[in-house]
Every structure is written in C-alpha cells, then in structure tokens.
Structure 1
Amino acid sequence: MIRKLILVFLVLFGLLTLFMSSSVLFDWFGIRAKEGNFVPFIVWANWLCGFLYLTAAYAILKSKTSSKIPLISALVILIIAYIGLFIHINQGGLYENKTMGAMAFRIAVTTLLLLATIKFIKK
C-alpha cells in the first residue's frame, strides 16, 4: 500500500513539476508573466527534477532497487540550486520571496520521498 502511495505521489509531483516549470520556461498559458522575477536556473533545476521524479516512479513500478538514485540526484540538484539562489540574492539578483519557500518545500518533499523509498521499497 505504501509503495503505491509513493508511486502515485511521485508521478503526480513529477507531472506537476514538469508542467509548471515548462510553463515558465517556454511561456505557456501566460504563466511566465504571473511568476514575476523568476530565477531561470531554479526553474531549469525544477524541470530536470520533474523527470527524475518520474524516473524514480518508473523504477518503483518495475521494482528496481535503483529507484533511490534519481531521488538522490534530484536532492543534490535542488541543494546546489538553493545554494546558487542564495549567491544570486547576495549579488543583488532579482527574485520572488516565494521562491525561497518553494525551494525549501521541494527539498523537504524530495528528502521525505527518498527516505520513504529507502525504507519501504524493496526488490
């Protein structure tokens, strides 16, 4: 049951991440204008993580022990991007305050997904 919940959450979170980040990157549906001062490398990092979430979901579906590798990769990418965001801000770069909270949330969710995968997903 927990395996299915993790799988469903990863698919939904991955698809939502891909939709929102690609909407900003490629200016679909006028979402870019609504985002204000977005930081491009943060959006690109999130976009890449969307694919990694789906890759982890596929690995869980196929009962592969490698399912944690995409989540570890996503977590590393997010942490590096978060550090980059602090550097960007300290250098006077434009950003939205909500980006700080959103990145902290995404790092926390990815960490929880990784821990759940390590604990509950066995071959």
Structure 2
Amino acid sequence: MALALITIFMSSSVLFDWFGIRAKQGNYVSFIVKTNLTAGFIYLIAAYGFIKSRIWAFWAMLSVALLLIYTFALFFIHIQSGGTYENRTIGAMIFRILITLSLSGFIYYDINKRPQNYNKPE
C-alpha cells in the first residue's frame, strides 16, 4: 500500500507540478510518469484484493508488471530517437519492474497457501 501511495503522490506531483517537484525532476518523460500514476492506482486495487485474499490481486500486479515492461521498451525507443530523459529513469524503471514482479510472486504464493474456501471469488 505504501508503494501505491508514494507512486501516486510522486507521479501526480510531477504531472500537476505540486510542491515544485516538477522542477526537481529535470528531463522527465511524461508517458513514463503517466504510466507510473496508472500503476499506482492499480497497486491500490491489488492491495485491496490481497487484503480480501482474492487471486485477481495477483493478476492485477502481473498486469502492472507487463505494462511497465512495455513502457520500458517504449522508453528505449524514445531514447534511441533522441528524446530527452534522465539516466536515473532507467534504474527507477528496472527497480519498479522488479518490485512489481516480486510482489506479484508474493501475492500468488500467499493467497494460494491459504485455505481453499477462503479465496473463492466474490
């Protein structure tokens, strides 16, 4: 849940220039920030599903991971075409993808080890 809230706060701060954060970000890539904002909201939905022991929480997290991987590929196209960016964006995207995949695995493992009648669909 903390990852979701931090992601939403930071992404929306850059997009809407809250608290002067946009100026501190340098050459941010808007489609990366928008994807991260979308990911933040899906993280919240997945957190709810995890709390309720729903297997769809795993699928939500896996979907975010795939979205981030796709966006990362587009980011490399952006770089190759001469677009401006910050080098730290590469590391941040790799970190976010790895964290999302790890959380997906954790959710899958945790929900499937619970009693079968507990994680039935609503």
**Superposed pair shares fold, TM > 0.5:** yes
Q: In structure 1, how many angstroms separate the alpha carbons of the residues matched to 2:101 and 2:45? A: 16
* One of 61, 64, 83 as aligned partner of 1:71: 61
Quote the residue 1:15 is aligned against: 5
Quote the residue 2:32 is aligned against: 42
SS in 1 for 2:82: coil
TM-score, normalised to structure 2, is 0.90
TM-score, normalised to structure 1, is 0.89
Quote the residue 2:90 is aligned against: 100
Deviation at 1:110, TM superposition (A): 0.2
Q: List, as ranges, runs of 4+ consecutive aligned residues in structure 1 with deviation greater than 4 Å.
A: none
The structure, 1 or 2, with the larger RCO (C-alpha pairs under 8 Å, 6+ apart) is: 1
| Identity score, percent | 50
Q: Is 1:53 aligned to 2:39, yes or no?
A: no
Name structure 1 gaps, 5 residues minimum.
1-10
Give the root-mean-square deviation of aligned CA atoms.
0.7
Greater C-alpha radius of gyration: 2
Name structure 2 gaps, 5 residues minimum.
113-118
Deviation at 1:76, TM superposition (A): 1.2
Q: In structure 2, how many angstroms separate the alpha carbons of the residues matched to 1:90 and 1:74? A: 24
**Greater Cα offset, 31-40 or 65-74:** 65-74
Q: Counterpart of 1:89 in structure 2: which amino acid?
A: I
Deviations for 1:47-104, whole angstroms, at most 9, x for unmatched residues? 0000111101000111212111210111111001100110000000000000000000
